[in-house]
Amino acid sequence: MLRLPAWSLSAGRVGHRLSLVRHPQVKARDLLPGNPVTVAALLLAPQDALKALRPPERRLQLPARGEAQALAGLRQDGEVLRPEVHADDAWLSRVRGSPAPAEVCWSGNWLLASVGPAPSRAGKDVIAHSLPNCDLWGMTGIYWHDSALTHVTPPGHPERVARAEAVHAALSELEGLEWHDAPRAARAEVERCHPARHFDRIEAAIPESSFVALDADTHVSPGSLDAALHAVGGCNAAVDAVIAGEARTAFVAMRPPGHHAETETAMGFCLFGTAAIAAKRALDEHGLSRVAVLDFDVHHGNGTQDLLWNEERTLFASSHQMPLYPGTGAAHETGAHDNVLNAPLAPMTGSAEMRRAWGDIILPALDDFAPELVIVSAGFDAHASDPLANLNWTEQDFAWVTAAICEVAEAHAGGRVVSTLEGGYDLAALAASVAAHVIALREHIG
Ligand SMILES: [Zn+2]
């Protein structure tokens, strides 16, 4: 199965889509907003755009003349595809002999397909028609590792192995996801946000058998450090992949969760601040300058807030039930640089209040912040069926908020969204809500 990493951007007119499948010599960073080689530049003036590449990329082949003309002809049509394939004659004749979509032509290494004004799915239809052996959906990554099953908590504990099994089963039912191993993070990754002594304390607490309680809620078993490191490593790998353009969106289906872990304190079922660590990695390793971390878990992400409180390159925004554990998350907690935004929700409220909080407060702030990457702390315990809290969200609400987040990411961040599992303790609601969330991430690919 050939993998086609791809970008899909909204074109100038409503109803038009532009898709660009990466040529092996086009570097992902060349397609980031602000770079001279944007999709639009390639469409409108490919020769000029390619000449503007920085010196190391000058080796990129300039497109053949015929292709430039074809590109010019596509300005208003909608769809341009550039697969990483070298087709043989039989393949070409099959493509050329195919009925609609409208127009497919081949030039050098480049395949161009025009499908005219089209719904977003049309680009996929073109690829499906032209490249039957391609994986058309390889743009939403799922990061998983079996160590999610080795972090064992005491009997009756809500944050349990069965959660990972339920999430894995729900995602396995879905098509169009690209599964990846969540690698084990090095301790240096954890130390982006936590001091070495925090790591040492967790490591020293890991028992040879059974469990050890770090506090009334948070336990470790022999497999816990491994699981937590694979959760951190999975989220980091997802960030690396979306920044490299190997995926557009990603979901990290790992446990233990992370958003309650403060700088030096494991708490609330969490050992390391997975989402905050991934945000720091994006800033410090990849050179991004604005990363948003959004948290719709029903509990306030006090840990993420603590870890990013002084980090002016991030926006941390959270909706959560209040009052509820851990007690933080009042609207007046705004970070050292006005970089924290809390939108508490009253108990027993549901879709309308949640959509107001996100639609009127969080999403406009996200839009103003103009993130280059969005990381989501995706907890599903605001669901009406959840036993640990009293909000009344539905699966459709999780789909709605996901799509709304993706829309802002589309406008500013090239659509890059990495989501990592936090809470959600009713297994059926968790499974259905994760599925709704990941389908929204996948559909957003367009
Ligand atoms: Zn929670």
Residues of the chain with CATH 3.40.800.20: 140-443
Residue-level pLDDT at 230:
98
Q: Flag whether pLDDT at 135 surpasses 80.
A: no
Please tell me the distance between residue 316's alpha carbon and the centre of ligand 1 in angstroms. 16
Residue-wise pLDDT for 335-350, tens only, equals: 999 999 999 999 999 9
Please tell me the distance between residue 152's alpha carbon and the centre of ligand 1 in angstroms. 18
With a pLDDT cut of 90, the percent of the chain lying above it is 63
Residue-wise pLDDT for 32-77, tens only, equals: 333 333 333 343 334 444 444 333 332 233 333 333 433 433 333 3
Please tell me the distance between residue 299's alpha carbon and the centre of ligand 1 in angstroms. 4
Residues taking part in catalysis: 260
Residue-level pLDDT at 71:
40
Please tell me the distance between residue 376's alpha carbon and the centre of ligand 1 in angstroms. 13
Residue-level pLDDT at 444:
67
Please tell me the distance between residue 392's alpha carbon and the centre of ligand 1 in angstroms. 14
CA–chain centroid gap for 10, Å, is: 19
**DSSP notation for 135-187:** ETTTTEEEEE-GGGGT----TT-SS-HHHHHHHHHHHHT-SS-EEEE-PPPPH
CB atoms within 10 A of CB 84: 17
* Greater model confidence, 4 or 236: 236
Owner of token pair 């969106």? 249
Nearest to 111 by CA among 188, 21, 189: 21
Question: Which range (6-15, 140-149, 358-367, 424-433) has the least confidence?
Answer: 6-15
Please tell me the distance between residue 313's alpha carbon and the centre of ligand 1 in angstroms. 25
Please tell me the distance between residue 329's alpha carbon and the centre of ligand 1 in angstroms. 13
Residue-level pLDDT at 408:
94
Q: Flag whether pLDDT at 137 surpasses 80.
A: no
* Greater model confidence, 428 or 7: 428
What is the average pLDDT value for the chain, to the nearest integer?
77
Residue-wise pLDDT for 397-419, tens only, equals: 999 999 999 999 988 887 899 99
Residue-level pLDDT at 61:
34
Handedness of CA 433, 436, 439, 445 (dihedral sign): negative
431 vs 441: CA distance, rounded Å: 15
Look up the CATH number of domain 140-443. Answer: 3.40.800.20
Q: In the structure, what pLDDT confidence band is assigned to residue 443 with cuts at 50, 70 and 90?
A: confident
Strand, helix or coil for residue 336? coil
Average of per-residue pLDDT across 225-231: 98
